[in-house]
């Protein structure tokens, strides 16, 4: 018997440390005090002593732009949407690593994916990091897409270049890129020339030529950013770095960077040893450029994860605590190197799903459009045979430090916690899985203890009690046996009972000698490899060019009969026409079955039915014909007697039925019995060929357990009334429900969800349906999963009419309309308003509307009585004075003194009677003027000179309100003399001339009295009075003249305030 108990390392019990995590504030601290104590948290992280402020707590978030463009959002610890760089800074991250590809696009501009990170996009990420006070590490791949140990493809633009030409291209490309980062002010602290360059860089292989490329990149960094560190990056520390470190001794660089993934790269102790040796031997700084760990085994986007099973990653618990512990331990391993250990970078902590697995078709479109997946289909045109390029989404979402919804995990704070320490309440972090492997017929002994790991890192071997289902194991198969430790921790043991393997000689290639296996062809060999399925060795295959190979062994002494041949393999990068097959050959012929080799650790176990003839000889093996770059490993050949087929479908049906049980409905005791029966049933089903007796026993045991389930809750409901009217409230009370459960109470189409009290009571109120009838009221508990009911009778309500009519106020001249409601549909209603009356018919809704015409101003009682409802509804109608308006027009608007002005007032409505009082300013213009036909007119001719503002005031009537017009303005000017003329006969030289001055009428038709003045050369030479009854005067001038003289006359009215003066034209008096 072989028994293995998988557990983690040293058994130690540290002191328990406890409490709950706290949110970090905005930015990461500029410095960290070495003596700061542990903080309360939801995870436990021991402090790493002696970390400098400059120790790189780094993350690689190269996909972040494509993620955000795909609609991914990130949140802070408060659950609100946040800038991811704010979240990173708040978590203690002080360095951001960004990969750079030369040209990650095809000829049509389609991105290859994984962020499509060319220099421009890397620069954008770098600017955001710098804005958040984080340094930047630039990771030049010197490729157009992924560069790693499996591929180092040169950029398209460098195809066919010699090594010197590539070195020159590296210098030029690096120089140009760094100058752009420098110009943008990005805080570049380190530059990585090449990525995981174990076997090559930029398509160049061989350490001498690789050193040439590294030196070219380093020289560019020294020239542009002399203060930046230069890093070389390698991986596989488990294989040692002595050779590559020695080969690169002549390269000018500062930092030796290693990847470290626990599930691939050996122990942390070895990592520290490898880095310490390089630091002490070559004087280099060292760091881990990539690491990560899974916090869940769930798939977030429908694309297979790189680490998809806990079995492939046993080093730490698959949990948030396990993720934090892994990062802490890697930081500690680097810190243990001493001052030369300068930092750790977590790879792609923000590569979260763009959508759930259920939206895979949409996710594929998003990955293709924005390059947010591992690779787009366009990448195949660049490097179709490159190992690890898989068309699809994020294979890293379960290793991110944000959950599938973008919330930061507590493990993200590990970058700050390692400086202070963090403590959480002591809790179980993981239970070491137990696997017991025996040969058929051997005794099965399960371990007395299992290793329980706590979140403080302590491990305790706890005594364990195993389910007696182990006694139901009857033969070959794989079985799961549950157990419970003394502290109540649940665990399981996997029991593998192997049928006799007739491949007795080196079935898993573990012997030092490869005999009796024969390997043919190229590209395949038996050797130790990390890709083995069982043990350390397997048949591993890989070649950079197309190749074929075969492996075979002749097995003899096999009893004649039917057997099943199987082998287990993994691999990837197979072409569409490639084949890798399992094969068996006997004297009767050869049969084959294909391996399905898709991705790393996706194990494929094909089987063949082999009939071994009487000679007892069968040749087993595998054969392959594959394209360049295809890789894989084949292991664990088994040839076992084919077990008889036993029909277990009835038992499987019972197991499925048990899985569908609503557990909340039943008592714990009956469920425990059921669970025990299920365990035993699954043990029977785990057998390669079920034992008929145990099969029958398991069916009976499980069927009885299902039938014996005891309902935990017996709810009931009571109605407030057994009979209600249509539309009435129906009160429902209940008891016996599960405390706190949601209970949905329904009646017809109405429902209400209420929460049961701590005593299991509920109360709800529903509305009775609109139609009469008998209805069922139901109450359905979400936890108790029991539906109870009661019956209620719904009847039509007796009809009671309560008609009413509305009060109303209307203006005189408007028809009086009475409205009402509540009458019997269609009934005749007589409406009386004072002495007026109207008969109308109520609508189907019982509404009425009646018009009784126009009424005089006053208050009137209203009565409305329906012929069916026979109820008099009363109200009041008020008829109030109608609103009148008045306008005023003055004509003409401008007049001379003494002229007539007509004032016309118009009252609306035109039927209004009464009178209008006219005003000149505040003064009345005589008495009120009667309105006739809506018009009142007054003529005035005694207006003084000046501006007059008239208004009309309608004095109202018994039916109309008073009203005032707007102002009408009239401007009265002084009267004008129509004409003034002067004439005279020729005069004798030396005499006084005589003139006649004629003054015309005023423009209002009258004459004015005044003074006539004659002037000669501006000198007054004569005057005369003119009465209002005369039109001319004769004047002898006061001077004698010897020559002709020019004269003109001016008439100045006596009343100059009302009459304007006027001057004649000039006349010449001639001398004779």
Last residue of a domain, one of 707, 737, 755: 707
Cα torsion through 328, 334, 337, 340, rounded to 10:
-130
Average pLDDT, the chain: 92
Per residue in 558-584, pLDDT tens?
A: 999 999 999 999 998 888 899 999 999
More confident residue, 261 or 31: 261
H-helix or E-strand spanning residue 343: strand 341-347
* Measured distance CA(33)–CA(615) in Å, rounded: 79
* 623 inside domain: yes
More confident residue, 980 or 412: 412
Residue 117: burial class (beta carbons within 10 Å; 0-12, 13-18, 19+) = buried
* 16 inside domain: no
Shared-domain flag, residues 484 and 535: no
**Which pLDDT value is given to residue 35?**
52
Shared-domain flag, residues 90 and 121: yes
Report whether pLDDT(720) > 60.
yes
**Which pLDDT value is given to residue 24?**
32
Token duo for residue 455:
């979140």
Question: With the C-alpha atoms ordered 866, 869, 874, 877, is the resulting torsion angle positive or negative?
Answer: negative
* Measured distance CA(210)–CA(204) in Å, rounded: 6
Shared-domain flag, residues 116 and 135: yes
More confident residue, 29 or 886: 886
- Give ∠ CA 251-252-257 in degrees, rounded to 5: 80
Report whether pLDDT(306) > 50.
yes
Per residue in 234-264, pLDDT tens?
A: 999 998 999 999 999 999 999 999 999 999 9
Shared-domain flag, residues 917 and 963: yes
CA distances from 987 to 610, 735, 1017, 1066 (A): 167, 142, 18, 17
Report whether pLDDT(17) > 80.
no
Report whether pLDDT(355) > 80.
yes
Question: b/e for 373-409, b at 16 or more Cβ within 10 A?
Answer: bbbbbbbeebbebbbbbbbbbbbbbbbbbbbbebebb
Shared-domain flag, residues 361 and 306: yes
**Which pLDDT value is given to residue 916?**
96
CA 830 to chain centre: 65
**Which pLDDT value is given to residue 937?**
96
Domain that holds residue 847: 804-880
Per residue in 912-967, pLDDT tens?
A: 999 999 999 999 999 999 999 999 999 998 888 999 999 999 999 999 999 999 99
**Which pLDDT value is given to residue 998?**
96
**Which pLDDT value is given to residue 765?**
96
Residues 442-452: what's their mean pLDDT? 95
* 25 inside domain: no
Per residue in 1039-1053, pLDDT tens?
A: 999 999 999 999 999
Q: Which domain CATH number covers 463?
A: 2.60.40
H-helix or E-strand spanning residue 439: strand 434-439
**Which pLDDT value is given to residue 385?**
47
- Please give the DSSP secondary-structure letter assigned to residue 983: E
* 509 inside domain: no
**Which pLDDT value is given to residue 9?**
31
Per residue in 224-235, pLDDT tens?
A: 999 999 999 999
Among 54, 69, 127, 196, the active-site one is 196
Per residue in 684-705, pLDDT tens?
A: 999 999 999 999 999 999 999 9
Report whether pLDDT(25) > 90.
no
**Which pLDDT value is given to residue 33?**
41
Report whether pLDDT(734) > 60.
yes
Report whether pLDDT(432) > 90.
no
pLDDT band at 14 (very low <50, low <70, confident <90, very high): very low
**Which pLDDT value is given to residue 739?**
92
Reference 97, options 152, 143, 135, 55; nearest CA is 135
Q: Which domain CATH number covers 229?
A: 3.20.20.80
CA distances from 365 to 370, 454, 653 (A): 9, 43, 39
Residues 582-588: what's their mean pLDDT? 97
Q: Active site includes 196?
A: yes
Residues 969-988: what's their mean pLDDT? 92
Report whether pLDDT(29) > 80.
no
* Measured distance CA(918)–CA(904) in Å, rounded: 10
Shared-domain flag, residues 842 and 894: no
Among 54, 68, 69, 290, the active-site one is 290
* Measured distance CA(924)–CA(135) in Å, rounded: 94
Residues 1055-1065: what's their mean pLDDT? 92
Shared-domain flag, residues 400 and 260: yes
Per residue in 35-75, pLDDT tens?
A: 557 999 999 999 999 999 999 999 999 999 999 999 999 99
Single pTM value for the model: 0.63
Shared-domain flag, residues 982 and 969: no
Question: b/e for 803-831, b at 16 or more Cβ within 10 A?
Answer: bebeebebebbeebbbebbbbbeebebeb
Last residue of a domain, one of 795, 816, 850: 795
* 735 inside domain: yes
Question: Taking a C-beta distance cutoff of 8 angstroms, is the pair 457, 421 a contact?
Answer: no
Alpha-helix runs per DSSP H in 616-722: 649-659, 668-686, 692-707
Shared-domain flag, residues 545 and 436: no
**Which pLDDT value is given to residue 26?**
32
* 184 inside domain: yes
* 34 inside domain: no
pLDDT band at 800 (very low <50, low <70, confident <90, very high): confident
Q: Which domain CATH number covers 979?
A: 2.60.40.2410
Shared-domain flag, residues 346 and 439: no
Question: b/e for 247-263, b at 16 or more Cβ within 10 A?
Answer: ebeebebbbbbbbbbbb
* Measured distance CA(275)–CA(279) in Å, rounded: 6
**Which pLDDT value is given to residue 390?**
53
Per residue in 736-747, pLDDT tens?
A: 999 999 999 999
More confident residue, 418 or 536: 418
* Residue the block writes with tokens 């491990």: 459
Share of the chain above pLDDT 70, in %: 96
Share of the chain above pLDDT 90, in %: 85
Per residue in 853-891, pLDDT tens?
A: 999 999 999 999 999 988 999 999 999 999 999 999 999
* Measured distance CA(172)–CA(176) in Å, rounded: 6
* Measured distance CA(589)–CA(608) in Å, rounded: 13
* Measured distance CA(366)–CA(153) in Å, rounded: 26
* 182 inside domain: yes
* Residue the block writes with tokens 């003329």: 981
Q: Which domain CATH number covers 810?
A: 2.60.40.10
Report whether pLDDT(20) > 80.
no
Report whether pLDDT(31) > 50.
no
Residues 374-389: what's their mean pLDDT? 71
* Measured distance CA(89)–CA(416) in Å, rounded: 10
Q: Active site includes 827?
A: no
Tell me the backbone φ, ψ of residue 775, rounded to 5 degrees: -125, 155
pLDDT band at 384 (very low <50, low <70, confident <90, very high): low
Report whether pLDDT(30) > 60.
no
* Measured distance CA(828)–CA(668) in Å, rounded: 72
Q: Hey, is 1010 helix, strand or coil? A: strand
Report whether pLDDT(592) > 60.
yes
Report whether pLDDT(1069) > 60.
yes
* Measured distance CA(1051)–CA(772) in Å, rounded: 108
**Which pLDDT value is given to residue 36?**
59
Compute the chain's Rg from CA coordinates.
Answer: 54
Cα torsion through 940, 943, 949, 951, rounded to 10:
-20
> Domains in the chain: how many in total?
8
Reference 654, options 714, 590, 703; nearest CA is 703
pLDDT band at 456 (very low <50, low <70, confident <90, very high): confident
Shared-domain flag, residues 990 and 1010: yes
* Measured distance CA(1061)–CA(977) in Å, rounded: 7
Alpha-helix runs per DSSP H in 63-200: 64-69, 84-90, 119-131, 163-183
Last residue of a domain, one of 955, 973, 991: 973
Shared-domain flag, residues 617 and 487: no
């Amino acid at each position: 018997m072989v028994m293995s108990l998988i557990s983690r390392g040293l058994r130690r019990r540290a002191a328990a440390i406890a409490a709950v995590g706290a949110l970090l504030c905005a930015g990461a601290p500029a410095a960290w005090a070495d003596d700061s104590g542990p903080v309360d948290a939801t995870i436990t992280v021991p402090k790493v002593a002696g970390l400098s402020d400059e120790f790189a707590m780094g993350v690689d978030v190269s996909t972040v732009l494509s993620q955000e463009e795909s609609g991914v959002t990130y949140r802070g610890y408060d659950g609100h949407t946040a800038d991811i760089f704010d979240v990173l800074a708040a978590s203690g991250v002080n360095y951001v690593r960004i990969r750079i590809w030369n040209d990650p696009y095809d000829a049509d501009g389609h991105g290859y994916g994984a962020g499509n990170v060319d220099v421009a996009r890397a620069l954008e990420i770098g600017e955001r990091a710098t804005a958040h006070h984080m340094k930047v590490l630039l990771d030049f791949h010197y490729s157009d897409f992924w560069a790693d140990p499996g591929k180092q493809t040169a950029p398209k633009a460098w195809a066919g270049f010699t090594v010197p030409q590539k070195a020159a291209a590296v210098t030029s490309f690096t120089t140009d890129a760094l100058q752009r980062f420098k110009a943008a002010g990005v805080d570049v602290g380190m530059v990585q020339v090449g990525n995981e360059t174990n076997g090559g860089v930029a398509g160049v292989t061989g350490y001498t030529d690789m050193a040439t490329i590294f030196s070219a990149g380093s020289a560019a960094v020294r020239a542009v950013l002399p203060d930046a560190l230069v890093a070389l990056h390698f991986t596989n520390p488990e294989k040692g770095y002595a050779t590559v470190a020695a080969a690169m001794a002549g390269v000018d660089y500062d930092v030796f960077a290693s990847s470290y993934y626990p599930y691939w790269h050996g122990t942390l102790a070895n990592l520290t040893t490898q880095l310490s040796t390089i630091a002490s031997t070559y004087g280099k700084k060292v760091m881990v450029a990539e690491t990560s760990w899974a916090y869940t085994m769930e798939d977030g986007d429908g694309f297979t994860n790189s680490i998809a099973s806990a079995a492939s990653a046993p080093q730490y618990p698959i949990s948030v605590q396990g993720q934090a512990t892994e990062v802490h331990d890697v930081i500690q391993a680097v810190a243990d190197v001493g001052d030369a250990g300068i930092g750790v970078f977590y790879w792609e902590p923000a590569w979260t799903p763009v959508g759930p697995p259920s939206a895979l078709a949409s996710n594929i479109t998003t990955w293709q459009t924005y390059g947010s997946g591992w690779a787009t289909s366009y990448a195949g045109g660049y490097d179709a045979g490159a190992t690890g390029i898989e068309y699809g989404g994020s294979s890293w979402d379960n290793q991110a430090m944000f959950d599938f919804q973008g919330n930061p995990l507590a493990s993200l704070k590990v970058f700050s916690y390692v400086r202070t320490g963090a403590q959480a309440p002591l809790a179980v972090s993981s239970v070491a899985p137990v696997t017991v492997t025996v040969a058929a017929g051997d005794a099965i002994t399960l371990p007395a203890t299992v290793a329980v790991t706590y979140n403080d890192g302590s491990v305790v071997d706890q005594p364990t009690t195993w389910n007696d289902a182990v006694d139901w194991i009857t033969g070959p198969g794989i079985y799961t046996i549950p157990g419970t430790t003394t502290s109540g921790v649940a665990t399981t043991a996997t029991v593998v009972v192997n049928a006799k393997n007739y491949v007795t000689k080196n079935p898993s290639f573990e012997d030092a000698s490869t005999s009796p296996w024969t390997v043919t062809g190229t590209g395949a060999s038996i050797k130790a490899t990390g890709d083995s399925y069982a043990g350390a060795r397997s048949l591993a295959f890989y070649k950079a060019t197309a190749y074929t190979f075969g492996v075979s062994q002749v097995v003899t002494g096999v009893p004649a009969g039917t057997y099943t041949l199987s082998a287990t393999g993994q691999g990837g990068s197979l072409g569409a026409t490639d084949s890798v097959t399992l094969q068996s050959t006997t004297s009767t012929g050869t049969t084959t079955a294909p391996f399905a080799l898709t991705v790393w650790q996706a194990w494929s176990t094909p089987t063949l039915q082999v009939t071994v003839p009487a000679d007892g000889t069968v040749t087993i093996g595998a054969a392959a014909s594959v394209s360049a770059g295809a890789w894989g490993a084949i292991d664990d050949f088994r040839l076992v007697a084919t077990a008889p087929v036993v029909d277990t479908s009835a038992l499987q049906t019972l197991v499925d039925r048990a899985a569908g049980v609503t557990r909340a409905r039943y008592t714990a005791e009956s469920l425990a019995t059921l669970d025990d029966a299920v365990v035993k049933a699954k043990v029977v089903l785990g057998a390669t060929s079920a034992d008929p007796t145990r099969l029958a026993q398991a069916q009976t045991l499980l069927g009885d357990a299902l039938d014996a389930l005891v309902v935990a809750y017996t709810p009931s409901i009571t109605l407030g009334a057994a009979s209600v009217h249509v539309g009435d409230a129906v009160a429902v009370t209940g008891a016996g429900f599960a405390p706190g459960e949601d209970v949905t109470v329904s009646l017809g189409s109405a429902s209400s969800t209420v929460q049961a009290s701590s005593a299991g009571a509920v109360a709800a109120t529903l509305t009775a349906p609109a139609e009469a009838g008998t209805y069922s009221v139901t109450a359905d508990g979400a936890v108790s999963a029991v539906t109870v009911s009661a019956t209620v009778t719904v009847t039509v309500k007796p009809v009671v009419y309560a008609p009413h009519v509305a009060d109303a106020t209307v203006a005189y001249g408007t028809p009086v309309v009475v409205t009402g409601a509540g009458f019997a549909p269609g009934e005749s209603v007589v409406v009386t308003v004072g002495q007026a009356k109207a008969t109308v018919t109520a609508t189907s809704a019982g509404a009425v509307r009646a018009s009784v015409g126009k009424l005089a101003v006053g208050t009137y009682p209203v009565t409305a009585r329906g012929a069916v409802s026979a109820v008099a509804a009363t109200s009041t109608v008020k008829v109030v004075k109608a609103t009148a308006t008045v306008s005023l027009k003055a004509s003409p608007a401008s007049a001379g003194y003494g002229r007539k002005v007509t004032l016309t007032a118009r009252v609306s409505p035109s039927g209004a009677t009464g009178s209008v009082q006219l005003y000149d300013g505040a003064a009345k213009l005589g008495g009120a003027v009667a309105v006739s036909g809506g018009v009142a007119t007054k003529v005035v001719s005694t207006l003084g000179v000046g501006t007059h503002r008239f208004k009309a005031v309608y004095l109202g009537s018994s039916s109309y309100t008073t009203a005032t017009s707007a102002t009408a303005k009239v401007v009265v000017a002084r009267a004008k003399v129509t004409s003034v003329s002067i004439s005279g006969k020729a005069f004798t030289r030396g005499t006084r001339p005589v003139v006649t001055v004629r003054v015309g009428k005023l423009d209002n038709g009258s004459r004015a009295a005044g003074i006539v003045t004659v002037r000669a050369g501006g000198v007054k030479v004569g005057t005369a009075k003119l009465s209002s009854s005369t039109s001319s005067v004769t004047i002898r001038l006061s001077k004698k003249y010897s020559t002709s003289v020019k004269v003109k006359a001016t008439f100045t009215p006596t009343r100059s305030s009302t009459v304007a003066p006027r001057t004649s034209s000039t006349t010449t008096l001639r001398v004779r």
